[in-house]
Structure 1
Amino acid sequence: MRHQVFGKKLGRDTNARKSLASNLASSLLVEGRVTTTLAKAKFVKIFAEKLIADSRSASLNRRRSLASRLSHQAFLKLITEIGPGFENRAGGYTRIVKLGPRGGDAAPMAKIEILEWDKTKAIQLTKNPKPTKAKKAATTENTGKRTKIKAVSSAVTRKVNEKPKTK
């Protein structure tokens, strides 16, 4: 009996399921909609809804968690556009539209898409340039080369030229 068993296996092992979920969710976030089988659409809907809910309050820990599960492009779009756009919405960020059966094997097809979000709340990510101090390179007067590099390279050549000690 299937009491209290959550989730679908989709005929895959654990790693393949995780890859499928993250890849479908990344495509969904980047493109806005994905056409797939109905079972995969239902599977990825749960995963994508959790990702969007986590991105609404993007603390450092949640951002790192999202970055580990998504592609870089999908992560940036989720953090900058989609998450802030759904800030006032409690849930239901995606919808599944059933399509006809697939031509080759008559598998039930569906289109999963992200609902419209408030695009005026998009965040601009900018790197804050840190003020850097100009470093002086330690140079010798005669050659104009850095002494540190010269010292390292001479130590390396000395080590290479030495014969190994044997007893």
Structure 2
Amino acid sequence: MNHRKKNNHLSRKFGHRNSMLSNMSSSLIKEKRIFTTLAKAKALKRYIEPIITKSKINTLHSRRNIFSLLKDKIAVSELFKDVFKKVRERSGGYTRIIKVGFRLGDMSKYSLIELVDFNDLSFIKIKKNKRKYTRRSSKKTKNLIKKKDRGRIYEQN
């Protein structure tokens, strides 16, 4: 039976798991997006969303509660800055998980977890208009005829 087993232990003991989730959440707050495995991203989402909800109330008590979970002064101060104003206005769903592919080392599912309101810079690069190579000549060279005598190029009228 699978009753009352709702958290993923991630094959780690309690202290290691909590410190790992704390470090990942503080780096997510600082950098706005991180790459990690899918299982860790899902566990991180459940860990960080209540923290962001607690940051809506800007009191000393909520700051201390969040600091006890994150253990990083810079991340806590960044969470209460005006930059996170958009996040505080949301009613929930602060993070997004995007499946990227598989990690090369062990072929585990690799994903990107990001804060929803900070997706201005997309990690996916848009393809630039690359030059197409065809056998046909371009518009510029259609009007030019190369004569065999002395290798000169003459313009066709």
Please give the TM-score of this superposition, normalised by the length of structure 2: 0.70
State the match for 2:5 in structure 1. Answer: 5
How far off its partner does 1:106 sit?
0.3
The answer (yes or no) to whether the contact 1:26–1:74 under 8 Å persists in 2 is: yes
- State whether residues 29 and 74 of structure 1, in contact with CA within 8 Å, keep that contact through their aligned partners in structure 2: yes
Tell me: CA distance 1:82–1:56, structure 2 relative to 1, closer, same or farther (3 Å).
farther
2:104 maps to 1:103: yes
User: 1: CA distance between counterparts of 2:53 and 2:31?
Assistant: 19
Structure 2's unaligned 5+ residue stretches are: 119-157
Q: How do residues 1-167 of structure 1 correspond to structure 2 at under 5 angstroms?
A: 1-70=1-70, 71-81=72-82, 83-116=84-117
* Aligned-pair Cα RMSD in Å: 1.3
Say if 1:53 and 1:83, in contact at 8 Å, map to a contact too.
no
Between the aligned partners of 1:100 and 1:52, the Cα distance in structure 2 is: 28
Deviation, 1:21, is 0.7
Asked if structure 2 preserves the Cα contact closer than 8 Å seen for 1:29 and 1:77, the reply is yes
Tell which deviates more after alignment, 15-24 or 72-81: 72-81
Q: Percent identical across equivalent pairs?
A: 38
1:19 is displaced (CA, Å) by: 0.2
Q: Against the structure 1 CA distance between its residues 95 and 28, is the aligned structure 2 distance closer, same or farther, given a 3 Å change threshold? A: same
Q: Is the 8 A contact 1:52 1:83 kept in 2?
A: no
Task: Give me the whole-angstrom Cα distance separating, in 1, the residues matched to 2:84 and 2:50.
Answer: 11
3-state SS of 2:81 partner: helix
Per the TM alignment, residue 17 of structure 1 is displaced from its structure 2 partner at its CA by 0.7
Whether the 8 Å CA contact 2:7–2:43 is kept in 1: the answer is yes
Which residue in the other structure is 2:125 paired with? none
Matched-pair contact (CA < 8 Å) for 2:36–2:110: yes
The residue type equivalent to 1:95 in the other structure is R
Shift in CA distance, 18/82, structure 1 to aligned 2, threshold 3 Å: farther
* Segment of structure 1 superposing worse, 60-69 or 95-104: 60-69
Q: How many residues align?
A: 117
Cα deviation, residue 80, structure 1: 1.1
| Counterpart residue identity of residue 61, structure 1 | H
User: 1:83: how far off?
Assistant: 4.5
Specify every segment of 5 or more residues in structure 1 that has no aligned partner in the other structure, as ranges.
Answer: 118-167
In structure 2, the residue matched to 1:162 is: none
Q: 1:83 to 1:52 in 2, by over 3 A?
A: farther
1:94 to partner: Cα distance: 0.5
